[in-house]
Amino acid sequence: MKGDRITWNTEDEVMFYDTDVGGVVHNLAYLRMIEFCRTKLAMKLGFDLRTMAETEVYPVVVKTEITYRQPARLGDVIETLGWLEDWGRVRFWCAFEMRLKGSESLLISCRQQLAVVQMPQGKPMRLPSVPEN
Amino acid sequence: MKGDRITWNTEDEVMFYDTDVGGVVHNLAYLRMIEFCRTKLAMKLGFDLRTMAETEVYPVVVKTEITYRQPARLGDVIETLGWLEDWGRVRFWCAFEMRLKGSESLLISCRQQLAVVQMPQGKPMRLPSVPEN
Amino acid sequence: MKGDRITWNTEDEVMFYDTDVGGVVHNLAYLRMIEFCRTKLAMKLGFDLRTMAETEVYPVVVKTEITYRQPARLGDVIETLGWLEDWGRVRFWCAFEMRLKGSESLLISCRQQLAVVQMPQGKPMRLPSVPEN
Amino acid sequence: MKGDRITWNTEDEVMFYDTDVGGVVHNLAYLRMIEFCRTKLAMKLGFDLRTMAETEVYPVVVKTEITYRQPARLGDVIETLGWLEDWGRVRFWCAFEMRLKGSESLLISCRQQLAVVQMPQGKPMRLPSVPEN
């Protein structure tokens, strides 16, 4: 990946269903927010949702690494920044950082490796050439 | 529906992901537990999960009516009782009651109307004859 | 409720986590989208999320009635319109309609009754006077 | 960790809400199943759910690493094996493997690092001595 990286930003306001009895956002809720950001980022990389539903060729998550640094709470606005980190022959990596809106302090850092597969067989596909920003 | 009714029981221990910041089980979590009970009940009515995945003929929820009477909390064990309430030509009704294990007191009452459809077109199918217990 | 009704609109783009193996949006996913709309509507009615987290006074769902008319699919944009339907002494009703963006055709109609309670005891509170638009 | 390791097994039958339009189990659903296994394992380590709800001392996930090797489908029964991998002064690691019931073939491998915190302040607590099997 040379030059400007390909990025996407999303925002989520923390709802009741994002929280648990501990009073903070549940660990799975951050991953749902990250999936929203990643899906929009993938659209920018050429993976259109409706085309995927027709062709049944989907990017699938192969690996997730996530670190929970600080908690968010009900009503907080979380900003998620996602970017394409690496683009190989059959797999690519995305990375994500989440912060409270207007804050520099990191809540979450995450990396996900994806492959593109033809469903329902699950056959891995070769990636096209590196997408440009 | 005459004679003995067709029923199914399930149990769920309340986990963190079932709760919210209010300290009690979130309204959507009960519906996930009910879906588990309903799916097992539907299997008893002849709707096998793997057959469904192959034929793409699925029972789908058309209507849900749910009343939240008392809350459950982290670590509680919830018993869900589901039964077939009515079986028509193209739709059927299931009903559910949820209680804390060992308690008579009602937490939740719920009714769901279902239709059987051929996906992906969503074409409604005629129901077979009334299932027997 | 006289005069102009109090409303809120939200939009959701259908993600993978909203869908199931039937190829359409899962019945629980619509209720999560409705909760987002309802929470924003409640903020307009004076229920601020962060204040709630501090005072532990929350509006809770007492009853949900939802009818599933037509399915939405991956990549669809769903518009949810929510409004205050009735405001009583201790409970109020909200109503919701969901449509594909730019379409008149109804996907979902839903009504929810709510009460305001002091947690963690779950003590019901008297509602303040009718909110104005 | 010397001697016999501390383990827990859980089983999950794949429901509609676990799947997505790709026809397989959604990446987040495996993590909910893992959380169920981890919570039961934590109970064996002395973290009782109801005690936690009262004292507000909770084990929280600090890091998750998960690799998705093969997909599961509607109706499959997934066995999750969890064990305590490492126990330090302020953090511990759990590990998990998921397989189709009766199969040796690995679907998912996962590791999670946890800390014990006093909520709502989020203050980290020192771990007690190494639990014995």
CATH code of the domain containing D15: 3.10.129.10
Selected residue with higher pLDDT from A129 and B116: B116
Examine residue D36 and state whether it is found in any structural domain, yes or no: yes
How many other β-carbons are positioned within 10 Å of the β-carbon of residue D18?
Answer: 24
pLDDT tens profile A17-56: 999 999 999 999 999 999 999 999 999 999 999 899 889 9
Record: contact B31-C31, CB cut-off 8 A: yes
- Average pLDDT in chain D: 94
Cβ distance B97 to B80 under 8 Å? yes
Chain C nearest-CA distance from A5, in A, is: 24
Range with the poorest average pLDDT among C42-56, C63-77, D78-92: C42-56
Interface contact A17, partner B, CB < 8 A: yes
Closest in B21, B66, B71 to C63, CB measured: B66
Q: Measuring CA to CA, which residue among D26, B56, D24 is closest to residue A122? A: D24
Task: Kindly state whether residue D130 falls inside one of the protein's structural domains.
Answer: no
pLDDT at C122: 85
Kindly report the nearest CA distance between residue C25 and chain D, in angstroms: 9
Q: Quick: pLDDT tens for B61-109.
A: 999 999 999 999 999 999 999 999 999 999 999 999 999 999 999 999 9
pTM for the full model?
Answer: 0.96
What is the residue-averaged pLDDT of chain B?
A: 94
What does the pLDDT look like over C82-129, one tens digit per residue? Answer: 999 999 999 999 999 999 999 999 999 999 999 999 988 889 999 988
The answer to whether D120 contacts chain C (CB < 8 Å) is no
Distance from the first to the final alpha carbon of chain D: 10
CA closest to C20 among chain D residues? D20
Nearest residue on chain C to D27, judged by CA atoms?
A: C17
Q: Which of A15, A23, A49 sits opposite C74 (nearest CB)?
A: A49
Residue B121: what pLDDT? 85
Q: Answer yes or no: is D11 within a domain.
A: yes
Stretch C3-8: mean pLDDT: 85
**Domain-embedded: residue D2:** no
Question: CA torsion, points B19, B25, B30, B32, in degrees to nearest 10?
Answer: 0
Whether residue C129 is contained in a domain is answered as: no
Return residues 71-100 of A near C (CB < 8 Å). Answer: 73-75
| C36 part of contact set with chain A, CB < 8 Å | yes
Residue C86's pLDDT is 96
Task: Please give the pLDDT value at position B53.
Answer: 86
C52 close to A (CB below 8 A): yes
Asked if residue D31 has pLDDT above 90, the reply is yes
pLDDT 10s digits, B25-53 = 999 999 999 999 999 999 999 999 989 98
Phi-psi region of B25 (alpha: psi -120 to 50; beta: other; left: phi over 0): beta
Which of the residue ranges A63-72, B123-132, D26-35 would you say has the lowest mean pLDDT? B123-132
pLDDT of D45 over the 70 cut: yes
Asked if residues D14 and D74 have their Cβ atoms less than 8 Å apart, the reply is yes
The percentage of residues in chain C with a pLDDT greater than 70, rounded to a whole number, is 98
Minimal Cα–Cα distance from D52 to chain C, Å? Answer: 15
Please indicate, yes or no, if residue D44 is contained in any of the structural domains: yes
Using the Cβ of C3 and the Cβ atoms of chain B, whether some distance falls under 8 Å is answered with no
B30 lies in which domain range? Answer: 7-124
Confidence of residue B3 (pLDDT cuts 50, 70, 90): low
**Nearest residue on chain C to A75, judged by CA atoms?**
C49
Q: How many domains does chain B have?
A: 1
The alpha-carbon gap from A65 to the nearest alpha carbon of chain D, in Å, equals 5
Distance from CA of C20 to the nearest CA of A (A): 12
D49 touches chain A (CB under 8 A): no
Q: What is the pLDDT of residue D3?
A: 54
What pLDDT shows up at residue C31?
Answer: 98
Determine, yes or no, domain membership for C133: no
Query: Phi then psi for D85, rounded to 5 degrees?
Result: -100, -35
D contacts of A122 (beta carbons < 8 Å): 24, 70-71
Residue C3 has pLDDT above 90, yes or no: no
Instruction: For residues B39 and B130, give the distance between their C-alpha atoms in angstroms, rounded to a whole number.
Output: 18
Neighbours of chain D (3+ CB pairs under 8 A): A, B, C
**Binary contact (A16, B26; C-beta < 8 A):** yes
Q: Evaluate if residue C1 carries a pLDDT over 60.
A: no
- Is it the case that residue D95 has pLDDT exceeding 90? yes
CA distance A95 to chain C (A): 19
For residue D132, being part of any structural domain is answered with no
Is the minimum CB–CB distance between A52 and chain C shorter than 8 Å? Answer: yes
More confident residue, A106 or C131: A106
For position C87, what pLDDT does the model report?
A: 94
All residues of chain A having their beta carbon less than 8 Å from the beta carbon of residue B22 are 16
Hey, of B14, B19, B21, which one would you mutate to test binding to chain A, going by the most A CBs within 10 A of its CB?
A: B21
Cβ neighbors of C80 (< 8 A, separation 6 or more) are: C9, C10, C11, C12, C33, C34, C36, C37, C96, C97, C98
